Amino acid sequence: MTKIRSSFFPLSRRKPAIVNKLKKTAQEALYSKLTNHGIKRALRRLLKEILSSENNSIPEVKNKCLRVQIGGGVHLLKNFLNIDIVPPADIICDVREGLPLKKSSVNLVFCEHFLEHIDYPISAKRFFKECYRILGKKGRLIVGVPDSKMAVKAYYKNDKKLIKKYIRSWYKKRDCLKHFNTPIDFLNYHFRDQDDNEKYNPHFWAYDKEKLTSLFKEAGFKKSTVWKFDEKIASPKRKFGSIYMVGVKA
C-alpha cells in the first residue's frame, strides 16, 4: 500500500438526522418477519447506499500518487494507492462522485470487475472522465470487466462445456448454484449477479470490447487496445471470462 498524506473532510458524518432515522427504520424492517421479499430486496440496496455514504470521506491527497487502483476490495496492490468504498483500502470514498486526486497527478489507474457494479451512464462515464483528468501525459487507464460478448456467445451456441467452466470458475463457492437450471440462468447471473445476498453487489451494466472502446474515446483517450493480462497487477481468478483494455492519454 502507498503511504499518503491527506486531509479528510468527513462530510457524510454530518448527514441529516432523517438519514439516521431512515437507516434505523430500514434495518428494523429488513429483519422483520412481516416484511415481504420484494421490500427486503429494496431495503438491502437502500442500506448499502447509506453505508457507502457513511464510509465516504472527501480526502485531499497532498502528494503525487503514481499508480492507483480503484475498487479492488481485499485485493490490495503493493505500491499502489488503493481507493474503494469499503476497507481495507488506503482511501475510503465513493468514486461515483469523483476521484480525490489532482489533475495530471497519476501515471496509471487500474480497475477490474468494478465498472459493472456502478450505474450507467452517469457514474460510468463520469469515472472514465475523472480517470482522464487525473492522468498525466501518456498515462494509462486499465479496465477489466466480465466479457459479455463471450458469455452471450456461450449461451447462443449452447456451449455447455464453456457454461460449466463459467459456473465452476465464478460461482462454485456461492449459495446460488442450485438455481442454475438452464443456460439462461447462467446468462442472467452474468448480467445481473446477485442482489438477494448482502455479500454481493449486483451488476448494473454489461460491457464488451466495443463498448469499452467507446467509453475510452468519449472520455478523451485517443487510443485504446486490449491489455495483455499481467498477474503482477490483475487477480488470476479474474482472468477467465474477462476482457481487459488499456487507454493511453495523449
Q: Please state the domain extents for the chain.
A: 6-147+207-248, 148-192
Q: What proportion of the chain, given as a percentage, has pLDDT over 70?
A: 90
pLDDT tens-digit profile of 18-66?
888 999 999 999 999 999 989 998 998 898 888 877 776 655 565 566 9
What's residue 15's pLDDT? 62
What's residue 240's pLDDT? 98
Q: Which three cell numbers stand for residue 164?
A: 460449466
What's residue 41's pLDDT? 84
Question: Residues 6 or more apart from 164 whose CB is under 8 A from it?
Answer: none
User: How many residues would you count in the chain?
Assistant: 250
**CA 130-122-65 angle, 5° bins:** 20
What's residue 31's pLDDT? 92
Segment 1-20 shows an average pLDDT of 54
State whether the Cα torsion 129-131-137-143 is positive or negative: negative
- Burial of 148 by CB count in 10 Å (0-12 exposed, 13-18 middle, 19+ buried)? buried
The domain at 6-147+207-248 falls in which architecture? 3-Layer(aba) Sandwich (3.40)
pLDDT tens-digit profile of 129-174?
999 999 999 999 999 999 999 999 999 999 999 999 999 999 999 9
What's residue 8's pLDDT? 38
pLDDT tens-digit profile of 182-228?
999 999 999 999 877 778 889 999 999 999 999 999 999 999 999 99
